[in-house]
A and B are shown apart, each in its own frame.
Chain A
Amino acid sequence: MGTIGQHLLNGMMQGTIYGLVAMGFTIFFGVMNVIKFSHGDVLTVGAFAALVAVWATSALGMPVYVQFIAAFIAAMILTAVVGAGISHFLIMPLRNAPPLNMLLMTMMVGTLLREAIRLFFPNGTNPQRFPELLPAGGFSLGRSFFRFDALILIVAGVASIGVVYWIINRTKFGLAMRAVAEDVETARTMGINFARVIPLTFALGSLTAGFAGTIYGLYYSEINYGMGLLLAVIGFTAAIVGGLGNIWGAIIGGYLFAGLQTLVVAAMPSMSDYKNVFAFVLIIVLITWRPTGLLAERGSERV
């Protein structure tokens, strides 16, 4: 049972996470035409890095806000490094290979990351409790109750989406990224070092996943080695629905998917275990109706 306000908040939170994940998929596809299926597991790596950072900083007796910031920083740094590494050692060397081989390779890397966490993280097979770092409580507005932590995380998530969007569309690095995405050869003749731009692009796309993983841990207070799988499928779906390669589309797709899930939960509380099934069915219908996604690839939005 829940009120409209709570559903709204919950949907916004999930939509933000999905949108962040979908943005990564769309960035990778836009720049290298690859579907990087390890993306969800990179998110998991980020969430675990955040957890370790919280453990470490709290063991050192640091204040909670430092733990909070350390969680995000650790997650983003590690996922950026992993993403850049995957691009440098796998995607760049294989960039002329058939796309399906690339997809397969990234799926294997994803499995590798996932299994590494399961086997080598202390007690990695079991879900890990993620410490609650944000103020408990909230406030009531009418019949709805708004959790502070949810509001803070939504603001942080939306802000990070904004920052990524700004980087892509308003900075010199973003310009180089888009130039490489459209025409590598011409980008090179303009003096752009594509061998550097591409790993950096993957670092950017991956650290959004690290950010999302940290938000996930803070919001749901629990993470596990397999959490990235479903998030990858949903994020990828959101990216496809929005029109793969289109940043706005990915964001909209993320919120749309969360909206569908929330609708199912709100309308049929007894069926909430099936929210993903319903959401995917609706997405299948949607894709049948608009095979190229909601937003046709359009202008400077594409990376």
Chain B
Amino acid sequence: MTGRLIVQDIYTAYDRADVLSGLSIEVVPGTITCILGSNGAGKSTLIRSILRLTPPRAGSIAFDGITLDTMQTHDIIGLGIACIPEGRRIFAKMTVEENLRVGAYLVSSERAIQMRLAKVYETFPRLKERAKQLAGTMSGGEQAMVSIGRGLMTEPKLLVIDEPSLGLSPLFVQENFNVIRRINETGVTVLLVEQNVNQTLAISHYGYVLSQGRIVVHGTPAVLSADAEVQRAYFGGAH
């Protein structure tokens, strides 16, 4: 099984101040690894560092033994990483189907694309009904489905997800977690950033808690849910 991501002692800054300082994580193949942390902790910056949208200024990152440190974003994606970005970032002026096809940009066989389209439509029947609609005119929740579906159009080794359920109704949030779990069961390694701590820990195998650009706690869901730090951050104090 592949999809091992090793982030080692990275420092990432936007302008001057480091947003991530000396951060290390490891995503073990076949697992769902979650990143928890309050707003502004640096979770999205970690993802941007991995994809080198905001390259770290120090430290190193490797995926399946290949160093990403000199690579360009599109080549990193080409290694078998797919991304469901924060804030959906759908292509509003394209149809739903075109959005999904951009997600399959690196898939060259039309047959494979058709099969994956069918799979995504099976997961999100609403997208099939609206395939020819401009994505920008979809409802917020529907746009979230487009964004998630787009991330599923390749069969990646590692799927990186940044708060996919933001703005979804509770029912759909649960469905969304089920989708992530099912994807993982097909052998896809998942790195998940989420705010719904209970549901996230319920499907994760391992987790890291990020605070002010550093990992403060990490461990299995059982360890994390018992941890005082997590309690304080998410449940309003220790019990």
Contacts and interface: CB of A to CB of B under 8 A. Distances in A.
A179 interface: yes
A190 B105 contact: yes
Contacts, number: 72
A300 B89 CA distance: 16
Interface in B101-157: 101-103, 105-106, 134, 136, 150, 154
Interface stretch (B92-100, B201-209, B213-221): B92-100
Interface stretch (A126-134, A180-188, A211-219): A180-188
Nearest to A182: B91
B161 to A, nearest CB: 12
A182 B92 contact: yes
* Residue of B78, B91, B93, B94 with most partner-chain A CB within 10 A: B93
Given A179-B102, A300-B134, A191 B77 contact: yes
A189 B89 CA distance: 11
A194 to B, nearest CB: 8
A176 interface: yes
A190 B77 contact: yes
Contacts of B77: 188-191
Nearest to B78: A191
Interface residues of A, number: 22
Interface residues of B, number: 26
B6 to A, nearest CB: 20
A268 B105 CA distance: 55
Contacts of B58: none
A191 B91 contact: no
A299 interface: yes
Instruction: State the majority secondary structure of interface residues on A.
Output: helix
A143 interface: no
27 contacts: A175-B94, A178-B93, A178-B94, A179-B105, A182-B92, A183-B91, A185-B53, A186-B91, A188-B51, A188-B72, A189-B51, A189-B73, A189-B77, A189-B83, A189-B85, A190-B103, A190-B105, A190-B106, A190-B150, A191-B74, A191-B77, A191-B105, A191-B106, A191-B154, A297-B93, A299-B93, A300-B98
Q: Which 5 A-B pairs have the closest CB atoms?
A: A191-B77, A191-B106, A188-B73, A186-B89, A189-B83
Interface of B: 51, 53, 72-75, 77-78, 83, 85, 89, 91-95, 98, 101-103, 105-106, 134, 136, 150, 154
